[in-house]
Chains A and B, each alone.
Chain A
Amino acid sequence: GENVEQHPSTLSVQEGDSAVIKCTYSDSASNYFPWYKQELGKRPQLIIDIRSNVGEKKDQRIAVTLNKTAKHFSLHITETQPEDSAVYFCAASTALGYFGNEKLTFGTGTRLTIIP
């Protein structure tokens, strides 16, 4: 089955600097890669996702890049703000397709702390 590795486990950056979180996956059939943000005691919330037919996607200060050959994808947060502090999880899925009900396999999470 799919295995997702995520690094680093903790990351502290100064407010205004950029943060990068990296994930690798094992199953070449995976084609959907979401990123979830989880604040303490709250539900995971989707912040951005990317499909395997795209190499990069950006949404304001957040971007995700995907390298299918190397089987890794990364989350980039620019101009970080205190409210970006949270745990971030990457995930992988073979979700595409009409009968796509496939599960998400999550990485181990990165605790991001923004230092004011």
Chain B
Amino acid sequence: EPEVTQTPSHQVTQMGQEVILRCVPISNHLYFYWYRQILGQKVEFLVSFYNNEISEKSEIFDDQFSVERPDGSNFTLKIRSTKLEDSAMYFCASRRTGTSDTDTQYFGPGTRLTVL
């Protein structure tokens, strides 16, 4: 069964550095998402992406964050200048279409980001 994949599994960075988290959504999916989960807390929505543009973003997704689909398979999340509070597990998710029988969002295994 196809799965969403993410790399790296763990990223350690210094405060102020840029990081790029990578995701490969399921191949025939059209909608892409990033969520984050601070340790011990709930999963929070960051951004949704469709047709090469952002559909919606949360208040967490400020100017330090950006997303890109650089080719036909990858979906990236960039944090330009990391802060301590960016430390979290970042999950990518994808969904096939917007029709009612394909609501399911499939999650990747996550990238644990640690900002020192």
Q: Which residues of A contact B (CB under 8 A)?
A: 32, 34, 36, 42-46, 49, 51, 89, 91, 93, 95-109
**Is B75's CB within 8 Å of the partner chain A?**
no
Residues of B within 8 Å of A44, CB to CB, are 43, 91, 107
By the criterion CB–CB under 8 Å, are A105 and B45 in contact? yes
**Distance, CA A98 to CA B96, complexed state (A):** 11
**Distance, CA A9 to CA B33, complexed state (A):** 26
**Distance, CA A43 to CA B107, complexed state (A):** 6
Q: How large is the interface on B (under 10, 10 to 19, 20 to 34, 35 or more residues)?
A: 20 to 34
Residues of A within 8 Å of B33, CB to CB, are 103-104
**Distance, CA A42 to CA B4, complexed state (A):** 13
**Distance, CA A99 to CA B31, complexed state (A):** 10
**Distance, CA A96 to CA B58, complexed state (A):** 20
- The residue in chain A whose Cβ has the minimal distance to the Cβ of B33 is A103
By the criterion CB–CB under 8 Å, are A104 and B91 in contact? no
- The residue in chain B whose Cβ has the minimal distance to the Cβ of A33 is B103
| 26 A-B pairs (CB sep. < 8 Å) | A32-B103, A34-B104, A43-B4, A43-B107, A43-B108, A43-B110, A44-B91, A51-B103, A91-B43, A93-B103, A95-B100, A99-B98, A100-B99, A101-B31, A101-B50, A101-B55, A101-B56, A101-B95, A101-B98, A102-B48, A103-B58, A104-B43, A105-B45, A106-B43, A108-B42, A109-B42
A-B contacts besides A44-B107, A100-B100, 4 pairs, CB < 8 Å: A43-B108, A43-B109, A46-B104, A49-B104
